[in-house]
């Protein structure tokens, strides 16, 4: 079932754009130029303003650009699986080549940036890697602190496949971790109370029933992959904050409807999203999966999802790969 409208989600509380305006002098008279050239700029401008010439505020368009930061965390998976660096390059290409959206700026990094100005400019962070990358990178606590500050100003967070992963030692004994508040759920790796499952099989990924912008432009698809199930979504009373994007009746031997892609609208005004696919990089060739993932990234960055979904073309996946899986 495809949605029919373009503005599904409620208008965000948080407004991303900061319109920094800068006065410019629209007209300069020949005499002013002459005076400037003669080295009497200050006197000339004062004289010009005193004469009643108008000035105009123009927006600094550079400060309004949506900026997606793709963080490629460590991964030890063999070629063909995960391939997080290639996936980062691919996501950047797909977002920037889309014709239906105003393409965001996209930075792909393998280390958490030191550049405070870059972090300030980011509207959504997409994580790829084995486990939630900040938990496996240097200066973990500083990264988590900075992410916390970014989410408080409404920055989006997206986790793809194993980047949803947390281990027992990452979470409190009750299973809490900030990632729960940022995206709504995680893949619990050998946690005592919560155990998610990673298995490879064929399944059908279905769009959620509740209309949402992220459902635009893709339909139910069969896929041979590793759709995690029994994800941990926090205490039951918090589950109503989840916005379902896609479900699957899995695993095949004991099918139960499982949430495989979802989002949340956080109280800070930001958006979080996650998808448990794909394990195999070749599955990016599936146009339905591709649109689903691009839609949820775009939604997290507060770009309007086009009514036909984010368009993408991918004929040559190999051109993004190195052959080494890195």
Q: Which two tokens stand for residue 191?
A: 């946690």
Is the bond preceding 57 in cis, omega lying within 30 degrees of 0?
no
Q: Which two tokens stand for residue 306?
A: 């086009």
Which DSSP helix (H) or strand (E) runs through 47? helix 41-50
C-alpha closest to that of 324 among 72, 160, 44, 82: 82
Other residues' Cβ atoms within 10 Å of the Cβ of residue 115? 10
Site for Zn ion in 39-68 (CB under 5 A): none
Q: How far is the CB of 150 from Zn ion (least distance, A)?
A: 27
Q: How far is the CB of 186 from Zn ion (least distance, A)?
A: 15
Site for Zn ion in 137-166 (CB under 5 A): none
Using CB under 5 A as the binding rule, whether residue 83 contacts Zn ion is answered as no
Alpha-carbon distance of 114 to 178, in angstroms, equals: 21
Alpha-carbon distance of 84 to 239, in angstroms, equals: 29
Other residues' Cβ atoms within 10 Å of the Cβ of residue 107? 18
Which DSSP string corresponds to 247-300? EEEE-TTS-EEEEEEEEEE-TTS-EEEEE---SBGGGGG-HHHHHHHHHHHHHH
Other residues' Cβ atoms within 10 Å of the Cβ of residue 224? 13
Which DSSP helix (H) or strand (E) runs through 304? none
Q: Give the nearer residue to Zn ion in terms of CB position, either 238 or 283.
A: 283
Using CB under 5 A as the binding rule, whether residue 132 contacts Zn ion is answered as no
Q: Which of 48, 130, 225, 226 is the binder for Zn ion (CB under 5 A)?
A: 226
Q: Give the nearer residue to Zn ion in terms of CB position, either 144 or 197.
A: 197
Q: Give the nearer residue to Zn ion in terms of CB position, either 75 or 312.
A: 75
> Which single residue brings its beta carbon nearest to Zn ion?
279
Q: Which stretch binds Zn ion (CB under 5 A): 94-102, 144-152, 226-234, 299-307?
A: 226-234
Using CB under 5 A as the binding rule, whether residue 170 contacts Zn ion is answered as no
Q: Give the nearer residue to Zn ion in terms of CB position, either 226 or 286.
A: 226
Asked if 208 and 188 touch (Cβ cutoff 8 Å), the reply is: no
Q: Give the nearer residue to Zn ion in terms of CB position, either 194 or 279.
A: 279
Q: Give the nearer residue to Zn ion in terms of CB position, either 8 or 162.
A: 162
Q: Which two tokens stand for residue 293?
A: 């993932």
Using CB under 5 A as the binding rule, whether residue 290 contacts Zn ion is answered as no
Which DSSP helix (H) or strand (E) runs through 25? strand 21-25
Q: How far is the CB of 225 from Zn ion (least distance, A)?
A: 8
Site for Zn ion in 257-286 (CB under 5 A): 279
Q: Which stretch binds Zn ion (CB under 5 A): 145-153, 204-212, 219-227, 262-270?
A: 219-227
Find how far residue 11's CA is from the centre of its chain: 18
Q: How far is the CB of 81 from Zn ion (least distance, A)?
A: 6
Using CB under 5 A as the binding rule, whether residue 225 contacts Zn ion is answered as no
Q: Give the nearer residue to Zn ion in terms of CB position, either 299 or 320.
A: 320
Give the interface size with Zn ion as a residue count (CB under 5 A). Answer: 2
Residues near Zn ion (CB under 5 A): 226, 279
């Amino acid at each position: 079932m495809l949605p029919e409208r373009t503005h599904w989600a409620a208008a965000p509380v948080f407004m991303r754009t900061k319109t920094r305006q800068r006065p410019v002098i629209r007209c300069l008279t020949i005499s002013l130029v002459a005076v400037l050239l003669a080295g009497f700029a200050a006197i000339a401008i004062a004289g010009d303003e005193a004469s009643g010439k108008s000035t105009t505020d123009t927006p600094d368009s550079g400060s309004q650009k949506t900026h997606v930061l793709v963080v490629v965390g460590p991964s030890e998976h063999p070629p063909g699986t995960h391939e997080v660096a290639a996936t980062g390059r691919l996501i950047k290409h797909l977002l920037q080549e889309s014709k239906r959206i105003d393409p965001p700026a996209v930075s792909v990094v393998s280390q958490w940036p030191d550049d405070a100005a870059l972090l300030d400019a980011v509207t959504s962070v997409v994580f790829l890697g084995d486990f939630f990358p900040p938990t496996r990178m240097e200066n973990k606590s500083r990264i988590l602190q900075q992410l916390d500050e970014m989410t408080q100003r409404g920055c989006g967070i997206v986790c793809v496949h194993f980047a949803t992963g947390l281990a027992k030692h990452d979470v409190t004994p009750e299973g809490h971790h900030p990632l729960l508040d940022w995206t709504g759920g995680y893949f619990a790796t050998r946690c005592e109370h919560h155990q998610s499952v990673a298995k490879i099989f064929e399944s059908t990924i279905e769009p959620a029933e509740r209309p949402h912008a992220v459902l635009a432009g893709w339909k139910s698809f069969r896929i041979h992959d590793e759709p995690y199930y029994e994800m941990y979504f926090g205490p039951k009373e918090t589950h109503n904050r989840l916005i379902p994007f896609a479900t699957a009746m899995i695993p095949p031997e004991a099918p139960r409807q499982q949430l495989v892609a979802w989002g949340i609208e956080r109280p800070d005004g930001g958006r979080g999203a996650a998808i448990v696919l794909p394990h195999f990089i070749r599955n990016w060739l599936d146009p339905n999966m591709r649109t689903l993932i691009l839609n949820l990234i775009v939604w997290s960055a507060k770009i309007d999802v086009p009514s036909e979904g984010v368009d993408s073309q991918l004929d040559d996946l190999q051109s993004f790969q190195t052959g080494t899986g890195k």
